[in-house]
Amino acid sequence: MRPRQPNRPFRRTGSEVRPRRLSAAWVVPMSGPPIREGEVLVGSDGRILWAGQRGSGAVPDSAELSDWPDAVILPGLVNTHTHLELTGFAGMAEEPDFADWIRRIRTLKAARAPEEFLAAARRGLADCHAAGVTTVADTGDSGAVIEALAEAGGSGIAYHEVFGPHPDQLEESMSGLRERVAVLHRFVSERVRLGVSPHAPYTVSGALYRAVAEYAAQEGLPMAVHLAESAAESALVEESAGPFADAWRARGIPLPSPAGRSPVGWLDLHGVLGGRTLAIHVVRAGGEDVGRLKATGAAVAHCPLSNSRHGHGTAPLRAFLDAGVPVGVGTDSVASVGRLDLLAEARAARRLAGLDAEVALGLVSTAAAVAIGLGDQLGAIRPGLWGDLAVLDLPPSGGDGTVYEAILAGGPADVRETILGGRTVYRR
Ligand SMILES: [Zn+2]
């Protein structure tokens, strides 16, 4: 069944913006070398017309001019993992144990009304724009984030979560998911996509994984899964042991079978890994798992600060990159990391895998866009891509090293303006 479209798309696509000429001390396209005294032209369709040396492009007559002689223009940042409906929960879930933390989040969510989720999603999206982030890949089950994206004319993918650890819950979970997809489809537009997210191996049965994967393939929906995140999850899937296994036994839920596989291997067995799948976290993965991700075409959302906050350990980022697995960096939620600072995440990824600054910055721009299937739409400054840009202060010295180093040393407070499809969505 195709998702019903009960209403017109929420927002007209292709609405015109005023063409813009944006110049700065540096333009950093990420798809080519940095341009000193650079300029970017964005057309009335919101897409990049041209980028190069200041003054050498053909500027449309009606263009709005902006110049930042002490700043750098870079691609709008891409956050490959958020839970914007949890905005406002920073500092409210401090449980050191992961299973306890999950329970705490459930309690916090249960106390929130639908309109509060929408208010949280709006605030979270505005915070992202203020931090130079123009595209988010978000998971949640309130439906608030796709609505917030649609009304703000934002850019992103909202993966709608589905739960059901007992195989007997399969029909109920699937009919609920189909219903929500049909309702939320009204928010889909050229820049706002809907996906599905069978939540995690400790909340989803093997049967439900298989059914969601088949449904996503039929409907052409992208899929995101929290995968191989905690020791408790690996113990559940591999050894039928640990706190999640104890909780399932107490509730009479059959344990994942067959046991003995890694979480990555177990999801692959159920048809979940593929070219439209974003695997979030993937901390507990060995060489065989990395090979499996590569072979299936699945991508990884790497969340170094969240992994560290929860004591999950460190993901094999270097191995993913060496194997050619598409990887982007994500923040995870404010309930995990307190504040969403994507450049801080890129620095953490850099330390973890010994990356140079350009590659680290790619993990929150070009490579991040590829990881969520939007590499032909955004993530770099080149003609044809969306005019999604972040303008960042340069240090007074211009930075000691390369302009990549200077950008990577920055944070949300350094963002001067954020532009989405040629439209300013944040100005300091
Ligand atoms: Zn998450």
Give me ligand 1 centre to Cα 71, in Å.
33
Q: Which of 168, 182, 223 is nearest to 200 (CA)?
A: 223
Give me ligand 1 centre to Cα 16, in Å.
35
Give me ligand 1 centre to Cα 69, in Å.
38
Give me ligand 1 centre to Cα 245, in Å.
21
Write down the pTM of the prediction.
0.94
Q: What is the pLDDT of residues 275-308, one digit of tens each?
A: 999 999 999 999 999 999 999 999 999 999 888 8
pLDDT score at 95? 80
Give me ligand 1 centre to Cα 26, in Å.
34
**Distance between CA atoms of residues 138 and 382, nearest Å:** 25
Name the maximum alpha-carbon separation found in the chain.
70
pLDDT score at 1? 39
Beta carbons within 10 angstroms of residue 60's beta carbon: 16
Give me ligand 1 centre to Cα 332, in Å.
5
- For every one of its 428 residues, what pLDDT tens digit does the chain have, with 9 covering 90 and above? 344 444 444 554 456 889 999 999 999 999 999 999 999 999 999 999 999 999 888 888 889 999 999 999 999 999 999 999 999 887 777 888 887 888 888 888 888 988 999 999 999 999 999 999 999 999 999 999 999 999 999 999 999 999 999 999 999 999 999 999 999 999 999 999 999 999 999 999 999 999 999 999 999 999 999 999 999 999 999 999 999 999 999 999 999 999 999 999 999 999 999 999 999 999 999 999 999 999 999 999 999 988 888 888 899 999 999 999 999 999 998 888 888 999 999 999 999 999 999 999 999 999 999 999 999 999 999 999 999 999 999 876 655 579 999 999 999 999 999 999 999 999 99
Give me ligand 1 centre to Cα 280, in Å.
7
342-362: buried (b, 16+ CB within 10 Å) or exposed (e) per residue? Answer: bbbbbbbbbebbebebbbbbb
AA letter at 298: A
**Distance between CA atoms of residues 413 and 422, nearest Å:** 22
Structure tokens, 352: 């973890």
Residue reference for tokens 């994942």: 256
Give me ligand 1 centre to Cα 143, in Å.
16
Concatenating the DSSP letter of every residue in 45-110 gives: TSBEEEEEETT-S---TTPEEEEEEEEEEEEPEEEEEE-GGGTT-TTS---SSHHHHHHHHHHHHH
Active site residues: 229
Residue reference for tokens 């036994």: 249
